[in-house]
């Protein structure tokens, strides 16, 4: 016996290790996908928002070419260069430590304007001037061309610096762009002086805070005397650039705006390019930009987790194993944040977190499968319970005692008990079993008496079908009669619950008629007589959809069209089931023929695009049946469709997963 247990334990451990290896392989493969990269970027964004110091390390002032500036100056973009010249002269005279213009002066304008800017640059030299890059797509290649400032501005003492940034696929700028020829690097060298040779760009941008973290003033304030106090710019680094879509000429451009990491946590999504330049400049001067953690950290940590998780899964209670996994995930998230905030290292925690979750799940699944296999072996000695009709047919035709089945049309029923979970919380386990046994004992005879087969019990749900194994030309009618009788049989059960002071139960029933495979399904050791097919899924969905329509019995059009006139039905709506392209009309039983007629007319008007007629018919229906949930729901859909812009498709059907 001990040898058997030992072999079982070793087999379980080997399976757990194999499952762990498979999980890690899948996780590793996932790291090459775009969704994975997007999740890692979102993690970077969250850590950025959590660790941003909300202030810059150096005195940087941004002069923003913003909406107030356009309103005050009454100028169109681009501004006259003499205006920029006045600003440079004003800022320089006030004692600015460095000036950077995140505006590209690539093409000449008038001689007077260009000369004015040339004189201002010469007086304030060196002034950092933005250069750009233009993409030219040819037939077989893409070429990038540098667009420098005017040569006369460079000759006057201007320093060209690239203003190019590198946004990711979601247009968020996360990577540093402070190369040797960048605008930020030119300004940093001006400020650093003798220490300029020690300036090194990092790999990732360390944001100081959301938009507006740096001291930002409107462009016009630096031009108008008295708006800023004397000496305001003394010793400060001044950056000038656009900050919003303001001029009519810029309405169809991004105007140097990028997405921000702070948008992922509810902050301002857009970030001006000039503020990105200020952030990179501050990173360079402070020397605290972000760098990637060593690449071997993650695989080493994951390999160390494997034996720990396998041991925990085999030795600890499931609850404690989950607690350990949760602790590992939290610890890795905390470690990533601490490294990000204090060591200035970007260590993506997504892979080790996913590995911890996957390893724990894989180990638990292996253990569960092993335990389940043992339980099935123990239960193999018990007989299988099948409906009497199935037993009779199998006795008459022993050849059916094999795997396989046949295609035929049946009517399928799914039932469920609303409020059962709430009720079971007030009962002991024995009382819950007693209640379910009474419920199943009441429903099963009704199903069998109408020619139906109870397929299975699923918790408090019943699955049954009509039309097999015995042929039944009226299987839809028999199923509907059974549903009505089952609802009546619920009345004494509910009365008994009320008498005990317990909350009542409500049974919901879904019915659908369709072609399925019916027969013995399973293995040679154990199989069951059941139905398989898309129709089963639709019947189950209809049971759940009762909640949205306020009904107790919901049936598909395929079932409704097979019913006799003695069973009048009311059409409720048209729905789309996940996985099916065609919509399905759903019905409920209704003895009021006027209500049935109004419902059908309202839905036909709605499908015909006549929202006014549909609304009027629904008003009549609600006058006859005040507060009717199905009518109110369709009324809301009609109102929403009527409010759609012209040309939008008419939403005649609603997805079941939205109900």
Q: Per the domain annotation, does 640 fall within a domain? A: yes
pLDDT exceeds cutoff 70 at 296: yes
Specify the pLDDT at position 645: 83
Specify the pLDDT at position 384: 37
- The whole-number average pLDDT for the span 544-551 is 92
Contact 280, 204 (CB under 8 A): no
Q: Per the domain annotation, does 577 fall within a domain? A: no
Let me know whether 122 and 181 are in one domain: yes
Which residues, 6 or more positions from 85, have their beta carbon under 8 angstroms from its beta carbon? 116, 117, 119, 120
- The whole-number average pLDDT for the span 103-119 is 93
Specify the pLDDT at position 154: 92
How far CA 281 is from CA of 163, 180, 288, 454, 595, in Å, comes to 12, 12, 11, 74, 73
Residue 293 has which token pair? Answer: 């953690």
Let me know whether 341 and 418 are in one domain: no
Q: Per the domain annotation, does 466 fall within a domain? A: yes
For residue 423, the domain's CATH number is 3.30.70.1230
Contact 106, 145 (CB under 8 A): no
Confidence of residue 592 (pLDDT cuts 50, 70, 90): very high
Which residues, 6 or more positions from 188, have their beta carbon under 8 angstroms from its beta carbon? 178, 196, 199, 281, 284, 285
Let me know whether 123 and 66 are in one domain: yes
Backbone φ and ψ for 455, nearest 5 degrees, come out as -75, -55
Q: Per the domain annotation, does 392 fall within a domain? A: no
pLDDT exceeds cutoff 90 at 189: no
Q: How many CB atoms lie under 10 A from the CB of residue 250?
A: 18
pLDDT exceeds cutoff 50 at 96: yes
Q: Burial level of 313, CB count in 10 A (0-12/13-18/19+)?
A: buried
Q: How many CB atoms lie under 10 A from the CB of residue 16?
A: 24
Specify the pLDDT at position 527: 60
Specify the pLDDT at position 391: 57
SS (H, E, C) 117-171: HHHHHHHHCCEEEEEEEEEEECCCCEEEEEECCCHHHHHCCEEEEECCCCECCCC
Which run of H or of E encompasses 632?
A: helix 629-642
Let me know whether 232 and 83 are in one domain: yes
Specify the pLDDT at position 646: 79
| Max mean pLDDT range (154-158, 201-205, 284-288, 366-370) | 154-158
Q: Per the domain annotation, does 254 fall within a domain? A: yes
| Max mean pLDDT range (2-16, 306-320, 457-471) | 457-471
How many structural domains does the chain have? 4
**Cα(277)–Cα(282) distance, rounded to whole angstroms?**
9
Considering 364, 379, 394, which residue would you say is the last residue of a domain? 379
Let me know whether 197 and 172 are in one domain: yes
Let me know whether 561 and 429 are in one domain: yes
Let me know whether 71 and 193 are in one domain: yes
pLDDT exceeds cutoff 70 at 404: no
**Cα(559)–Cα(542) distance, rounded to whole angstroms?**
12
Residue 163 has which token pair? Answer: 């203003």
User: Residue ranges of the alpha helices (H) in 500-585?
Assistant: 534-549, 557-560
Specify the pLDDT at position 6: 47
- The whole-number average pLDDT for the span 478-499 is 93
Q: Domain span at residue 451?
A: 403-567
pLDDT tens-digit readout, 497-514: 888 888 888 999 999 999
- The whole-number average pLDDT for the span 600-629 is 92
Specify the pLDDT at position 169: 86
Q: How many CB atoms lie under 10 A from the CB of residue 511?
A: 29
Let me know whether 268 and 302 are in one domain: no
Specify the pLDDT at position 301: 84
Specify the pLDDT at position 556: 95
Confidence of residue 232 (pLDDT cuts 50, 70, 90): very high
Q: Per the domain annotation, does 396 fall within a domain? A: no
Specify the pLDDT at position 142: 66
Specify the pLDDT at position 485: 96
pLDDT exceeds cutoff 70 at 137: no
Residue 102 has which token pair? Answer: 């995140």
Let me know whether 203 and 270 are in one domain: yes
Let me know whether 327 and 357 are in one domain: yes
Confidence of residue 327 (pLDDT cuts 50, 70, 90): confident
| Max mean pLDDT range (18-27, 223-232, 233-242, 338-347) | 233-242
Closest among 167, 86, 164, 181 to 128, alpha carbons compared? 181
pLDDT exceeds cutoff 60 at 9: no
Let me know whether 219 and 119 are in one domain: yes
Instruction: Answer with the residue of higher pLDDT: 11 or 384.
Output: 11
pLDDT exceeds cutoff 70 at 201: yes
Beta bridge partners of 130: 104, 161
Contact 355, 27 (CB under 8 A): yes
Let me know whether 454 and 412 are in one domain: yes
Q: Per the domain annotation, does 579 fall within a domain? A: no
pLDDT tens-digit readout, 34-92: 888 888 889 998 988 888 888 888 999 999 999 999 999 998 888 999 999 999 999 99
Q: Burial level of 544, CB count in 10 A (0-12/13-18/19+)?
A: middle
Give the sign of the dihedral formed by CA 119, CA 120, CA 122, CA 123: positive
- The whole-number average pLDDT for the span 92-119 is 93
- The whole-number average pLDDT for the span 634-647 is 87
Instruction: Answer with the residue of higher pLDDT: 614 or 322.
Output: 614
Specify the pLDDT at position 377: 42
Q: How many CB atoms lie under 10 A from the CB of residue 139?
A: 4
- Among 28-37, 116-125, 182-191, 358-367, the least confident range: 358-367
pLDDT exceeds cutoff 90 at 165: no
pLDDT exceeds cutoff 80 at 388: no
């Amino acid at each position: 016996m001990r040898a058997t247990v030992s072999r079982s334990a070793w087999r379980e451990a080997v399976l757990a290790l194999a499952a762990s290896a498979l999980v890690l392989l899948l996780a590793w493969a996932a790291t090459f996908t775009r969704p994975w990269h997007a999740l890692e970027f979102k993690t970077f964004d969250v850590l950025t928002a959590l660790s941003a110091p909300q202030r810059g390390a150096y005195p940087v002032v941004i002069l923003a070419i913003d909406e107030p500036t356009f309103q005050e100056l009454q100028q169109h973009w681009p501004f006259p260069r003499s205006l920029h010249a006045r600003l440079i002269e004003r800022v320089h005279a006030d004692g600015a430590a460095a000036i950077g213009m995140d505006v590209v002066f690539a093409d000449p304008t008038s001689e007077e304007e260009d000369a004015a800017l040339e004189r201002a640059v010469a007086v304030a030299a060196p002034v950092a001037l933005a250069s750009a890059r233009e993409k030219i797509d040819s037939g077989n290649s893409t070429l990038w061309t540098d667009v420098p400032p005017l040569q006369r501005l460079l000759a006057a003492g201007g320093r060209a610096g690239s203003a190019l940034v590198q946004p990711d696929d979601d247009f968020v700028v996360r990577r540093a762009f402070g190369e040797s020829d960048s605008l930020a690097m030119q300004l940093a060298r001006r400020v650093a002086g003798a220490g300029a040779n020690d300036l090194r760009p990092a790999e990732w941008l360390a944001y100081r805070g959301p938009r507006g973290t740096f001291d930002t003033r409107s462009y016009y304030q630096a031009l108008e005397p008295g708006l800023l106090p004397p000496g305001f710019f003394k010793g400060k680094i001044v950056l000038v650039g656009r900050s919003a879509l303001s001029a009519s000429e810029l309405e169809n451009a991004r105007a140097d705006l990028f997405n921000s990491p702070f948008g992922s946590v509810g902050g301002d999504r857009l970030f001006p390019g000039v503020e990105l330049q200020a952030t990179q400049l501050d990173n360079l001067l402070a020397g605290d930009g972000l760098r990637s953690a060593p690449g071997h950290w993650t695989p080493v940590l994951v390999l160390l987790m494997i034996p720990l998780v396998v041991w925990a899964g085999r030795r600890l209670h499931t609850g404690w194993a989950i607690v350990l996994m949760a602790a590992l995930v939290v610890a890795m998230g905390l470690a990533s944040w601490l490294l990000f905030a204090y060591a200035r290292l970007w260590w993506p925690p997504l892979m080790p977190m996913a590995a911890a979750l996957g390893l724990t799940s894989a180990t638990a699944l292996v253990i569960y499968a092993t335990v389940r296999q043992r339980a099935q072996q123990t239960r193999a000695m018990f007989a299988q319970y099948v409906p009497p009709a199935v037993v009779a047919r199998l006795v008459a035709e022993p050849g059916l005692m094999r795997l396989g089945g046949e295609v035929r049309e049946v009517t399928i029923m799914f039932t469920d008990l609303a409020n059962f979970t709430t009720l079971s919380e007030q009962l002991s386990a024995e009382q819950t079993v007693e209640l379910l046994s009474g419920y199943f004992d009441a429903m099963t005879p009704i199903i069998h008496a109408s020619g139906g087969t109870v397929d299975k019990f699923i918790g408090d749900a019943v699955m049954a079908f009509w039309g097999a194994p015995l042929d039944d030309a009226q299987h839809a009618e028999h199923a509907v009669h059974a549903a009505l009788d089952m609802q009546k049989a619920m009345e004494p059960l509910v009365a008994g619950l009320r008498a005990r002071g317990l909350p009542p139960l409500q049974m919901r029933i879904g019915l659908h008629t369709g072609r399925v495979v019916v027969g013995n399904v399973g293995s040679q050791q154990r199989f069951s007589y059941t139905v398989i097919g898309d129709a089963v899924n639709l019947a189950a969905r209809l049971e759940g959809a009762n909640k949205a329509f306020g009904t107790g019995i919901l049936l598909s059009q395929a079932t409704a069209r097979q019913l006799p006139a003695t069973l009048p039905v009311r059409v409720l709506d048209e729905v789309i089931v996940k996985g099916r392209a065609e919509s399905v009309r759903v019905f409920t039983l209704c003895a009021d023929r006027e209500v049935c007629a109004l419902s059908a007319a309202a839905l036909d008007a709605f499908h015909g695009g006549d929202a006014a007629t549909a609304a009027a018919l629904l008003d009549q229906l609600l006058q006859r049946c005040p507060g009717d949930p199905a009518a109110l729901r369709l009324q809301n859909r009609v109102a929403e469709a009527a409010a759609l812009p012209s040309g939008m498709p008419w939403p005649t059907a609603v997805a079941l997963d939205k109900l």
